[in-house]
């Protein structure tokens, strides 16, 4: 035996190439065995010299016309050269000689898919699968999955993966794929049954526990999904995707401390990701720990500086702490990236209001109502700013427009009354106040909050009291 098999193989290949050159030139003693031709074809294919490989295949098939293997090699080269119909013709000949090679059907499928004949590709595999067993059958089923995916018959993709798992319950590729397709097709209940059967026989299969958890999560059964994820990480304590999904389940249950704990484990196990820092920041936000929320949002921004939403979330943490100047700085970054985002304009308007820059605030709040004219929140903030800035006539006109744009929300009747009182038009203001109370008496509180001094107006107090008596009756 040679001490250097690689060198021996190289020498043998060199000899085969010389023999082939002799054959082309018509020299005597240039006979090449079938296996030798196969090696030469493979050599040129690996070097991506498809035309040379095709030339060799032509000589080989003339010498061995009944070799299904050589025909398959030629068909593979033709597919690489995008000569799909020629490839199918060669494959039909190969099938007559030997129909037991699963590659025959895989090559046929590739050619039909390239010709945009998905139904024909599926038919080839569907008819062939029952003739194979074991790994070959599984390979063909995976190929069929890809065909169904290609022409968007997603339910059949799931069915194929289910068949593979029935044949090989611990097939990792199938388990990875069926997790996605269970969620995508919404067949979560079926997914639960499939994975429970696997776990009955293979209780330490981490992927099966993970997929079971994900299926529960798809049905919003978060407690059950967490239990299954805990089994998965008990078997493999470095399974970062299980911790990641568990964190999401805890957030859905509003168990923010637990979510922080498992999401922090994700950061220990994998490369830092902005989405994980953002999720942890969100949890701290919900726990009103705004300093920690801000710390994690800033980590997210560091990893993804183009994300305007992160600057916005940082600004909100400052707003919750009434640090309006720092909030404005972050909102300026958000608005530079997305000037027409209504939430950013609304937050900037509020911050500018708090710092006494009323006219600037009105400009940003005006953007909000232009972008979302049917949303009452933008209008109420704009009208508050106008009221604070003393723009009473403009505010009255704006109230009428807001009432119309928001499909007659009663709060804007109250705003009409507010601006009329501010302009000294008490009689007209009282008429609109009475209309507002008739439309929705519960909004009186908001009306008074904007200007509590109105309770010193005798007629306002009497009007409110009179309507309270009506209500009690």
Report pLDDT digits (tens) over 367-393: 999 999 999 999 999 999 999 999 999
Q: What CATH code is assigned to 1-98?
A: 1.25.40.10
Provide the CATH number for the domain formed by 177-269 in this structure: 1.25.40.10
Can you read off the two tokens belonging to residue 467?
């309507």
CA distance 226 to 212: 10
Contact 446, 414 (CB under 8 A): yes
Mean pLDDT of 206-215: 98
Phi, psi of 408 (to 5 degrees): 70, 50
pTM: 0.83
How high does pLDDT run on average in the chain? 93
Query: What is the mean predicted confidence (pLDDT) over 170-199?
Result: 97
pLDDT of residue 1: 43
Helices (H), 390-425: 392-405, 411-422
Note the pLDDT of residue 23. 79
Task: Grade residue 5 by pLDDT with cuts at 50, 70 and 90.
Answer: low
Where are the domains positioned within the chain?
1-98, 177-269, 410-473
Rounded Cα distance between 388 and 450, Å, is 9
Q: How many Å apart are CA 298 and CA 314, to the nearest integer?
A: 7
pLDDT of residue 31: 78
Asked whether the predicted pLDDT for residue 274 surpasses 80, the reply is: yes
Rounded CA separation 207/239 (Å): 10
Q: Which two tokens stand for residue 173?
A: 């590729």
Two domains, one topology: 1-98 and 177-269: yes
Chain-centre distance of CA 270, in angstroms? 19
């Amino acid at each position: 035996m040679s001490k250097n098999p690689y060198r021996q193989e190289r020498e043998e290949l060199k000899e085969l190439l010389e023999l082939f050159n002799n054959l082309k030139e018509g020299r005597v003693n240039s006979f090449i065995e079938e296996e030798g031709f196969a090696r030469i074809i493979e050599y040129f294919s690996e070097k991506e010299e498809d035309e040379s490989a095709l030339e060799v295949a032509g000589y080989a098939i003339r010498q061995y016309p009944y070799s299904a293997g050589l025909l398959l090699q030629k068909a593979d080269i033709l597919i690489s050269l995008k000569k799909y119909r020629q490839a199918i013709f060669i494959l039909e000949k190969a099938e007559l000689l030997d129909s037991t090679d699963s590659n025959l059907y895989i090559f046929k499928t590739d050619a039909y898919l390239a010709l945009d004949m998905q139904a024909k590709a599926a038919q080839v595999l569907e008819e062939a699968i029952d003739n194979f067993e074991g790994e070959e059958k599984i390979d063909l089923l995976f190929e069929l999955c890809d065909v169904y995916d290609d022409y968007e018959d997603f339910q059949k993709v799931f069915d194929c993966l289910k068949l593979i798992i029935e044949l090989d319950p611990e097939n990792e590729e199938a388990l990875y794929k069926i997790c996605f397709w269970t969620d995508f097709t919404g067949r979560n209940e079926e997914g639960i049954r499939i994975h429970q059967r696997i776990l009955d026989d293979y209780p330490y299969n981490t992927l099966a526990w993970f997929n079971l958890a994900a299926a529960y999560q798809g049905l919003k059964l978060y407690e059950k999904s967490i239990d299954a994820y805990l089994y998965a990480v008990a078997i493999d304590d470095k399974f970062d995707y299980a911790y990641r999904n568990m964190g999401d389940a805890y957030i859905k249950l509003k168990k923010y401390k637990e979510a922080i704990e498992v999401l922090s484990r994700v950061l220990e196990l994998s490369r830092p990701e902005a989405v994980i820092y953002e999720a942890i920041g969100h949890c701290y936000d919900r726990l009103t720990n705004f300093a920690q929320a801000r710390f994690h949002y800033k980590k997210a921004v560091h990893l993804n500086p183009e994300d305007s939403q992160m600057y916005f979330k940082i600004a909100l943490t400052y707003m919750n702490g009434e640090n309006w100047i720092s909030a404005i700085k972050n909102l300026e970054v958000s608005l530079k990236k997305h000037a027409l985002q209504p939430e950013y304009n609304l937050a900037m308007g509020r911050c500018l209001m708090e710092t006494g820059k009323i006219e600037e605030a009105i400009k940003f709040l005006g953007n909000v109502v232009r972008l979302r004219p049917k949303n009452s929140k933008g209008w109420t903030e704009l009208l508050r700013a106008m009221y604070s800035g003393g723009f009473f006539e403009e505010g009255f006109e704006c109230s009428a427009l807001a009432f119309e744009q928001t499909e007659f929300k009663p709060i804007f009747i109250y705003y009409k009354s507010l601006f009329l009182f501010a302009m000294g038009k008490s009689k007209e203001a009282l008429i609109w106040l009475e209309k507002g109370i008739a439309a929705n008496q519960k909004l009186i509180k908001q009306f008074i909050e904007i200007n509590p001094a109105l309770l010193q107006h005798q007629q306002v107090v009497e009007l409110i009291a009179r309507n309270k008596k009506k209500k009690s009756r």
